[in-house]
Structure 1
Amino acid sequence: MIWSEKPANPEEFAIPRVLTGIVERRWLILGCVAAGVAVATVGYLDQPARYRAEAVLALDVRKFQVLPTESVVSPLPQESPVLRTEVDIISSRSMAERVLAYLKSTGVDVAKGFGLAPEKATGQAASNNLHVDRRTLLDNLTSGVRVTNDGRSYTIYVAFTGMEPEFTAAVANAYAEAYINYQVDLQTTATRRVSDWLGTRLVTLRSELERSEHAATSFREKSGIAKSNGTTLLSQQIAGLNAELARLRAQLAGSVARLATALDVPDGQSGLALVEVLNSPAIQQLRSEEARLKRQLASISESGAVKNPQIPDLTSQLETIQAQIGSEVAQIVDSLRTEIEVSRRQQTGLEANLKQLQAEMSNANEAIVQADQLDREASANRAIYESYLTRYKQTIEQDGIAMAEARIISRAVPSWSRSSPSASAWLLGGLMFGLAGGLLATFLLELRASFLRRPDPHESSVGIPIIGRIPELAVQQRSGVADLMRHSLSPFAHAVADVQGRLRLSARNRNVQVISVTSAGAGEGKTLVSSCLARSLAATGLRTVLVDANLTNPAVAEEFGVEPLDAAETFGSYENVRLDDLVRHDGPSGVDLICTAAANVPSEHILGRDGFARLLSTLRQTYDLIIIDSTAVSNGSSALLVSALSDRTILVVPEGADPASTSRAIRKFETAGIAVDGLVVNCASRTTLERRNVVPFVADHSGPATEGRKRVDMSIDTPSAVGM
């Protein structure tokens, strides 16, 4: 990726190369467009006028429920596939047959509406013509109708296109009415069909129910296992005995527990914890008397009259009452024992009766199982019969109240403005067709011209592609190169922009920052190419620096009119000099410059030091692209040293140069293990440019520059995206 903070100047943008052929063949393209418009006009005038009418249907989301029962035909689910299905039903051929019948019933002459003349025939021929006419009418109906849904609502649009406005509206409304009638007929037919089937089925189910109930009753009567309240009498007896036995066992357990409680208390308190003892009126009266005597004795004892004559009498009465209480308690305990014994004998009798009934039950189990099976069969037949009978009555109630699940919310009205043919559509189609034909013709002509090109002698001899040709400049134009670069209509500016564009396209898979520009010999235009290339790159918004490494005959300072620096201090001792002290800025072009004067020592001594490599490393961190005006290959190994530190090497070759000298220069690079990435032909004549299919642009393709930091992707494939 290449990043730039300097906005591009709009007038310095180069027009994409793809527009060159379009500009050259503009009259051919315009002729094709005119021909397309003419053909479209003729086609538009030749087409008959057609009118369009539209009826709007809406599927009801809220259902009209008359009876609280389920309908025979379930309502339409409100889903997109269901809506799509309903749209297909409306546009089907069967619906067209309904529409045709509806139109004929309302007195509409369908054949006249379609502009079909009636045919006269008799006998079998008349029957055949009638069949053919009906099929033709159906074809016209299905081809003219268009049913749509927007996918966001339950609204269906039924549009019909025809040659008469009134007939078109009548057909659209007929489609809507036919669809409503179709839904009503569907529900009515289904309801009647179901009710007929249910009536026939009920007769069979009634016979099966009567047979199964009679079989179950007869078997129980023969087996003596008749039921009462859903169970047999034997089962009811066993259940009653079990309940009585459980009650008796609980009563016996309670009596035994009370007796054990009475017997476990200390002597003199026997039976006092029993409920019977506590609830006995006689014992309650005796204990009240006992309490009274104890209170009298306690009061006499508290008064201190120990020799009171009442004490013996009161004591004798207290003992008598206590003896009576003990006698009453003993009687209650004896009665409890008697009760326990009676309960045990009752339990024994109930258990004996239960065993006898269980024995009888085991003998009747097989008959009961068979009787239960017959009962279940009869119950199942009764449930089925009742469900069918209920559904039959519901279906009969629903007959005659079928309602459509759609309604017409907008009827079609005749439209007197024709819908087709559309003048704008025909005109746009003619323009597009003519433009496509012109572009195709341009492409074929350019392809033919590319096949007719003659191979370049430099490409044939050295096998390195030519990435650009710089046109020859007049003497008066040589001093105004900067103005030529800023003028996008100039062939020279286009040629330089073409070179920098191809460089950036070919570098899409490589991180190219440093480009070395050299030549086979001196005076072949490498300084012109490098300076113009730097101006063109800076015009695209890239931070570009031009380094003059031609220490033998430097010319960059003179080209830009700046003061040169000492070569030894600039390249040889870079660590002792700040970068800001070396860089000169050219305001008109936006290019930064590092210019040196001629060195008084061999250039290899300066360029071979580590200072030059460190300078390039620092420039890589500061600039997007670094253009180096290198030394000519014939002046020694300086060009090889510079190319070894560069990412890409360009060899400038003058027009008409000897291919042998170019081959020798390239062999020097190959010997050093350095690849030359491309050739730039300098001072190419106009004849050569036209023969090589390099044509100057005649229109400006620059756009508004964007302020701030701008990103240019080196991996894109179209020239227009890389500033060509």
Structure 2
Amino acid sequence: MNDRLSTITLSQRDGRTIILHGVRLLRRYHRLFLAVGIGTFIVGCGATLSLRRSFVATATVVVSPTVSDPVGTRGGQQAESLSDDELATQAGLLQSRDVAAAVLHSLPAPAGRTGFSLKGMLCAHGLYPACPKATRADPGAEAQAQVDRLLAAVTIAPMPRSRIISITVNADDGRRAADLANAFVIQYQQLALDRQRADLNRTAAWVDSRTAQLRERWLEAATNASTFNATHKLSNTGDGAGNGPLIEREMSETAVSLTQAQGRLAAAEARADALARASARGEARGLVALTQQPILVATANTLQQLDSARMQKAAALGPHHPDLAGLDQQIATTRASLAAETHAALASINEDAMSARAEVAQLAHDLDRLRQEASSQGSPQAEYRMLTQEAQSARDVYEAFLERSKELVDRVALLQPPVAFVSHAAAPDSATFPNRRKLLMGVVVLSLVAATGAVFLRDLFSSGFGEVEQLRALVGLPLLTAIPRIAGRDRRSVRRHVLDNPFSPASEAVRSLLAQLSLSAPKTTGRGRVVVVASASAGEGKSSLAAWLAGLARTGGQPVLVIDGDHREGTPGRSPLCPGLTELLAGEASVGEVVRPDPETGVDFLPAGAPKLFPFDTTEIARLREMLKELGRSYSLIVIDSPPLLAMPDGLVYGALADQTVFICRWLSTSRSAVLSSIERLRSYGAHVSGVVVSMAEEHATAHPGARYGRQDTRRIALHHNS
């Protein structure tokens, strides 16, 4: 039970730590957060507002049942239902390039809007040197490109297990989208009717020519009968009931059989002609309607299915997609098989025609034989009846073809398009894309995510310390204090901060540091303590910390000396002619000549003196040790402002000779490798490193002595101190 409670407590503590860490990161990099967030929001808003608006309109049509070919059996009946292949075929025909071109012809594409362009304006006036050369556009290529763009904006989807097809068009204007959707249906209806009308007109023309031939044959037979009657001056041409001699009845029956055989021959020739023309034009549906052979019907249906599948894939994937190669090969194979089956069907029909032609020839021969017999018997009456029957038979055939021609003319007038409107497309009230409200909400979320990610990446790739716990875990030394950033406008105000603001958080932090150094200092008899303030590089606040430590120790009544240890470069802002540490170690000046009060803090100060080119040698190290012992008899605290440890080894010498060494690093600035390298070098020189001080820390960082005091408490303490 206790383990479970401890686990829950740790998880809650980890979650709270993560949340607090995230809040600290946002406060630390708030400028980065705002910059990335606002930048992403502006870019996202610009991209959202620059998106072209698109409107979608949908028209719905129903596919009419298929009507049998007019050349076939009379009274062709409609199919009760449609197969999925027929529905897909109609959808593919609706999305064909011919229909798209007709739509663009009826509704030309609007002229593109061109915005202001500085480059275009300069090119128009001949002021821009790198203007593109004007090229003359190919009208045909431009028209094909417009067709491609229109087909890319059209989606035609057949609904399964129904006869409904939806036509959806995407356009920049709602009214144009609706007009295009309706125009696709109207233009397809017109093209389909034109195609059907052309097919029926071709069939009607053939029937008319055949009817004219039959009429001439009938008129010729009637003229022959009338001429024969007038030549022989026949007064009794028969009783009209067929009661005559046996040879006359045989001639009559033979003539009837001949007429029937001629009708079958004409029908076979008509079927062969129509089938040959349908095969030459590649009309699979015509082949299905004109033949009753199962293999040919199945092959034609397969070809229709493959053509429909290729049309759909070409519309969806493009005319040059690799998947179309396999379909093209299958279509070619099926066409070859269809040609073979059509050839076989034509051969069968030709065999029927040959059989009918042979039968006609045989009957004609028999009829001639009967006529010869009748002539030899001297029967003009029988000859006349035969001529009359031939004329009547030719008339019957002529009237049948004439009736068929009238039916074709009537059917042309009653043609119906293959699709009919279920609902016309209406102009949408609002744009379908983009949904700016949702996109702007997404832009806001994206901006927050991008800004947060930038903050965490900045912290992840930061080389410095952002958390006190990280510093403690890495260096393995006590964290003596964390000095917050102060708002100093000049060097003097910064160096006098602890004197002018004795109860500020920074002053309390330095006071706490001074107390820790006093309590942890080794016992020294007869001399003062030597404290070295060291850092890895310049600009981390060690000079200010040395001045603050000395200033606070002096306010407590202790004699304090600050030594500028950077004798190779000298104190910034001071004259190189001023004697200091360099002259003191060289024996060119005494302590009284080089030590002077600091005008800013009032403590005694030993400047660096003239710059040196080389680090300390063994003689100078021994003199420095003796000098520190001698100065320790006069001062209770000696603070050495050492040079950067990574720049020169002089600071390591100071650390080895001092009683205590305070290593200072700047918050978020000093790299981890620099801190570890500097501390390792100090330890290798035998320096006694008391701990680490963090400078310019954030206000929310831990280990802020005095951070809990409010303004009223600070004012009350300050009044009591002054009194």
Q: Structure 2 length normalisation: TM-score? A: 0.32
Q: Which structure would you say has the larger RCO, counting Cα contacts within 8 Å and 6 or more residues apart? A: 1
Q: Structure 1 length normalisation: TM-score? A: 0.32
- In our comparison, the structure showing a higher alpha carbon Rg is 1
